[in-house]
Amino acid sequence: MSVFDHPEFDKHEHVAFCHDEASGLKAIIAIHNTNLGPSLGGCRMWPYLNSAEALTDVLRLSKGMTYKAAMANLKQGGGKSVIIGDPRKHKTEDMMKAMGRFVESLNGRYITAEDSGISVENLQAMATQSSHIAGTSAQYNALGETPTGNPAPSTAYGVFVGLKATVQHVLKSDLNGVKVAIQGMGHVGYRLAKQLHAEGAKLYVADIYPEGLAKAEAELGATIVAPEEILTLPLDVIAPCAMGSSINDESLPDIQAKIIAGAANNQLARESLGTALKEKGIVYAPDYVINAGGIIDIYHQKLDDSSDDAMRAHIAKIGETLVEVYERAEAENRATNLVANQIAEERFTTQG
């Protein structure tokens, strides 16, 4: 298949196919755009069925990182890498080192970090070969926890400030008494719930496993709801914090909340559902804007002169960015996800 004619190619600057015979590494590194700075994006290891599937994934993901970085006010571009193979069966230290050498060969135009199938330990192996590996150690934490390198606290703080700004914009209210349904009580969902509870929000929570739910009920007074009902409740906000595509043709007709603001990636099963939400009068916080706390965290962990407060202040700007999106969407009578895409494009095509 020709890379230039690929449906997901979309003006990628550089796509590198990497093979290391000794370790068996087969990887693709995609750099979408570096107008704002070196490209940043995680390395994913996945048992792709073939190289075509891996190429489609890496191109789509690296483009997404350009948009995310631009909306997060980072002087970074978008890139991503994928390793073809089953992380449980095929991953070796030599393979990770070989990956590090390929990252190094791009001279800093691509900085890698963690994604599915890749651990901090794997990144540390890559870092023996390259100085362009992020997420190998952590110095700062947005929620006062001990820094571990897990960006979930920063993601949860970003979703919290974004949700709060959206409630203020749409309902003209603070969070006291606002009813929020959270789908997924995992790393991000629980931390979001905790912050919302501290500001008086009334919580409804669902998960497919009981641990997070029991904690939210006992510690935050949350009401436990069945997973199949969580998106349909008649309340103010739903926060998808589980898997992607939760807003789809099946769930859309039953959504009664006025706001959707959560952490999950790719919440809309297809882009045009953003317009369908607008037509229903539901304000949607574009996922890659509101969940950018994690990438902002990775960016700050690389800086020697940052701090917990500087990282928090940067993440807090997610609220302002969302209001910019909402105001423009209202003025142009367009869906928020489309307006976010346009603002991102304006930022990464006109700034240098």
Per-residue contact track with ligand NAD, 217 to 236, x per CB under 6 A?
Answer: ----------x---------
Task: Compute the distance between CA of residue 144 and CA of residue 147 in angstroms, rounded to an integer.
Answer: 8
Torsion, CA 338, CA 62, CA 3, CA 272, rounded to 10: -20
Restricting to residues 274-293, name those near ligand NAD by CB under 6 A: 291
**Min CB(148)–ligand NAD separation in Å:** 12
By the rule CB under 6 A, 183 interacts with ligand NAD: yes
Task: Choose between 77 and 189: whose C-beta lies nearer to ligand NAD.
Answer: 189
Is 80 noted as a catalytic residue in this protein? Answer: yes
Task: Choose between 74 and 95: whose C-beta lies nearer to ligand NAD.
Answer: 74
Are 231 and 255 contacting, i.e. CB atoms less than 8 angstroms apart?
A: yes
Given the complex with ligand NAD, which of 277 and 318 has the nearer CB atom? Answer: 318
337 forms part of the interface with ligand NAD (CB under 6 A): no
Catalytic-labelled residue, pool 63, 68, 80, 202: 80
CB of 207 to ligand NAD, least distance (A): 4
The answer on whether 187 is annotated among ligand-binding residues is: yes
Considering only the stretches 38-46, 163-171, 206-214, 315-323, report the one whose residues sit in contact with ligand NAD under the rule CB under 6 A: 206-214
DSSP label at residue 232:
G
Contact 92, 59 (CB under 8 A): no
Binding mask 185-204 for ligand NAD (x = CB under 6 A): xxxxx---------------
The answer for residues whose C-beta is within 8 angstroms of residue 44's C-beta and 6 or more apart is: 57, 58, 61, 80, 81, 82, 83, 115, 116, 117, 118
Residues 6+ apart with CB under 8 A from 290: 158, 159, 162, 163, 261, 262, 263, 318, 322
Integer Cα distance of 86 and 98 in angstroms? 17
The reply to whether 142 sits near ligand NAD by the rule CB under 6 A is: no
CA dist 256 and 245 (Å) reads 17
Which H/E stretch holds residue 62? Answer: helix 51-71
User: Does the annotation list 184 as a binding residue?
Assistant: yes
Residue list, annotated binding site for NAD(+): 184-189
What residues make contact with ligand NAD under the rule CB under 6 A? Answer: 151-152, 155, 183-189, 206-209, 212, 227, 241-243, 263-265, 291, 294
Q: Which residues are catalytic?
A: 80
Residue list, annotated binding site: 184-189
